[in-house]
Amino acid sequence: MASHAFPKAHRLLTSDDFQSVFADAPFRASHKYFLILARPNQRDSARLGLVIAKKHIRLATQRNRMKRLIRETFRHQAPTLGGIDVIVLARRGMDSLENSALHDQLDRQWQRIARKSAPKPTTAD
């Protein structure tokens, strides 16, 4: 049975990890309520960082709900993402989405990131 844990190896933990993605994020997926930034890493697996500002989502219960849903969709999509570092930034109004709508939108954006970050096939000359 597959584990649904979210270990430290799959998280962006340090300020340097976050800064490297913010400074150079060649892959982006934008939505009205959130922005996903990503860049390749030197690992075999994807890592996730969250920026859920109190300025945009006032209630702690709503911020925590957003984090849980983002992590859940990330865990399901991580095998398709490969070795990338990802940051999800919440925008104003994200907390107004129902869980199912947010889940659907996040899945679509993860798929966009996976397509953009997939290695391009090389052609032999």
Q: Please report, for the domain that includes residue 51, its CATH number.
A: 3.30.230.10
Each residue's pLDDT tens digit, 16-53: 999 999 998 999 999 999 999 999 998 888 999 999 99
Segments forming the whole domain that contains residue 85: 43-113
pTM over 0.95? The answer is no
**Torsion angle of C-alpha atoms 61, 67, 73, 78, degrees rounded to 10:** -160
Each residue's pLDDT tens digit, 73-118: 999 998 888 899 999 999 999 999 999 999 999 999 999 998 888 7
Domains identified in the chain, total number? 1
Q: Between β-strands 47-51 and 34-40, what pairing exists: parallel, antiparallel or unpaired?
A: unpaired
Residue 8 lies in a domain: no
